[in-house]
Structure 1
Amino acid sequence: MLYQVTDWDDAYANGPHIPGAEAYPPRWQAEAAAFRAATRHEALGEGHLFRPDGEAAGLMVFIHGGYWMKFSPADFSHLAAGAVARGWAVAMPAYRLAPDASISQITRQVAQGVTEAAGRISGPIALTGHSAGGHLAARMICDDGTLPDEVATRVTACVPISGLGDLRPLLRTAINDTLHLDPQEAAAESPALLSPRQKIPVTAWVGGMERPEFIRQSRLLADIWAGLGAPTDLIVDPGRHHFDVVEGLCDPDSALIRQLLA
């Protein structure tokens, strides 16, 4: 079946295609605030580091989305619940939003946050993120020195959720009025156009009810990185859309948490 995008703005617009989309951000903020009030945590720059009771089994990193230009770690604190319940610490690094920062600058800021958290928590590191954060999670394990070797060698899993592996289509959207990507930076910051570090299991996770471009992007990353020698998988989560596909991170027994922390 022929697939062709004729409206690039609509192809990357999630809210208009999700019933009740406007209710999700305030719900996230309320659940995040309640989780912070009940969970031991400390500052990680402008972000947060959540700790379990007792010694941490490892470090999970969650990187928030919002097309690199919206939200903050404080909007998603509750997504640490599943990993904390399993005895893991959870880092949620902050980054300066576009247009005040370019995507290449955001990549470096997130890498600094991951490195700082890794210095506080020993053991394995599991990387994940949602949407733009999924892009950044994959970007952390590109074999270009983004993460220091001593941090990257501890990474046991990378699960980009609804991530963007190829940024070049965004050049055709109004989103780029804020991102200010040019073709060179779009290519240089696209994980699908870079080589992954070897031996790190990568699972591209995406909702089955998401926009076709997000499913294509997830499949693209898994397929290309498999061809470059990385152990990869693609999970299309049935019945999930772009805003609820992350909810498995709240549940310590979910398939998403098991894939990330196994």
Structure 2
Amino acid sequence: MDLEAEYNNRARVADSAAIIAGWARDAAAFRAGWARSTLDQPYGDGARERLDLFEPDMPGPLAVFIHGGYWQALDKSFASHCARGLLGRGVAVAVPSYDLCPGVPMRRIVEQMRAACAMLHRRTGRRLLVAGHSAGGHLAALLMATDWTAVDPALPAGLVGAALPVSGVFEIEPVLPTSLGRALNLSPAEAHALSPRFLPPAGGDLHAVVGGAESGEFIRQTRDFAAAWGGSEEVLPGANHFTVLDPFADPAHPLVARAAAMAGRLAQG
């Protein structure tokens, strides 16, 4: 199997650079136009330990959307517009940044996302739906698997009660031999330990999504992970690794309706 071809999505999708540039434009326009937003809230002391919080007109459930970039690229400014769909259904959305590999180890990124979620819970008292794209999907799964009482005994065990990973990487070891794996600086044992696929199934509501035009490995990883954790899976017909995010800007899309229902159940519980 050509693992480089399976996992290098920017090379696989010819117009990936144009799509990512479009994200930046759409996200900036959304931030400028959404009045109920609080930008660059710190959840830690680092320069990238910041999140943007977008709120609907009335208080409601809370979701987090984590950007992708193979743990080594992008930041929250590329993903703001992914909050539009859930906001249209009454769900507040936080969009965090995090430090990048190789500047920090992957475990540090996981710790940062835990800190962001803990801050949001302490501030709002709400349990969280966490969605994420690609590397963000991996982080969303790890957040649902977190023992939150070990992070802080004052936090509820089910702080992240639902996860919606999109085109997630749930087995990291196959990425290591590729050009994308070099910056991760992980041994095979470390990669295995940080792979949600091989962790005990987390309690909570899991719905894993992948694009129908993605590589066989991304489709396999989504299928195998959802099965291992007893969650559901969905293949979006015709979507590649980048266009798979298009539904999140549309409040009327069935995937956004499903995500809003997942967040709503947490608010009721």
Q: What TM-score do you get using the length of structure 2 for normalisation?
A: 0.88
In structure 2, runs of 5+ residues without a counterpart are: 43-49, 262-269
Give every structure 1 segment of 4 or more consecutive aligned residues whose post-TM-superposition deviation is greater than 4 Å: 143-149
The one-letter code matched in structure 2 to 1:247 is D
* Matched residue SS, 2:244: coil
Q: How does 1:84-233 map to 2 (within 5 A)?
A: 84-145=87-148, 150-198=155-203, 200-226=204-230, 232-233=231-232
The one-letter code matched in structure 2 to 1:107 is V
* Matched residue SS, 2:26: helix
Tell me which of 37, 49, 54 is aligned to 2:53: 49
Contact kept, 8 Å, 1:126 with 1:158, in 2: the verdict is yes
Contact kept, 8 Å, 1:51 with 1:84, in 2: the verdict is yes
Residues 28 and 152 (structure 1), Cα distance of their counterparts in 2 relative to 1, 3 Å cut? farther
Tell me which of 21, 38, 53 is aligned to 1:26: 21
Residue 71 of structure 1 is matched in structure 2 by 74
The one-letter code matched in structure 1 to 2:117 is V
Report the Cα distance in structure 2 between the residues aligned to 1:252 and 1:147, rounded to whole angstroms: 34
Q: CA deviation at 1:108?
A: 0.5
Report the Cα distance in structure 1 between the residues aligned to 2:55 and 2:119, rounded to whole angstroms: 15
CA RMSD of aligned residues (A): 1.7
Report the Cα distance in structure 2 between the residues aligned to 1:124 and 1:92, rounded to whole angstroms: 16
Report the Cα distance in structure 1 between the residues aligned to 2:144 and 2:159, rounded to whole angstroms: 11
Report the Cα distance in structure 2 between the residues aligned to 1:222 and 1:196, rounded to whole angstroms: 10
Report the Cα distance in structure 2 between the residues aligned to 1:218 and 1:8, rounded to whole angstroms: 16
Report the Cα distance in structure 2 between the residues aligned to 1:162 and 1:129, rounded to whole angstroms: 8
Q: CA deviation at 1:224?
A: 1.2
In structure 1, runs of 5+ residues without a counterpart are: 227-231
The one-letter code matched in structure 2 to 1:28 is W
Residues paired across the two proteins, number: 250
Residues 238 and 147 (structure 1), Cα distance of their counterparts in 2 relative to 1, 3 Å cut? farther
Q: CA deviation at 1:123?
A: 3.6
Residues 75 and 246 (structure 1), Cα distance of their counterparts in 2 relative to 1, 3 Å cut? same
Report the Cα distance in structure 2 between the residues aligned to 1:212 and 1:180, rounded to whole angstroms: 25
Q: Deviations over 1:137-165 (max 9, x none)?
A: 00101154476573552444211100011
Identical pairs, percent? 38
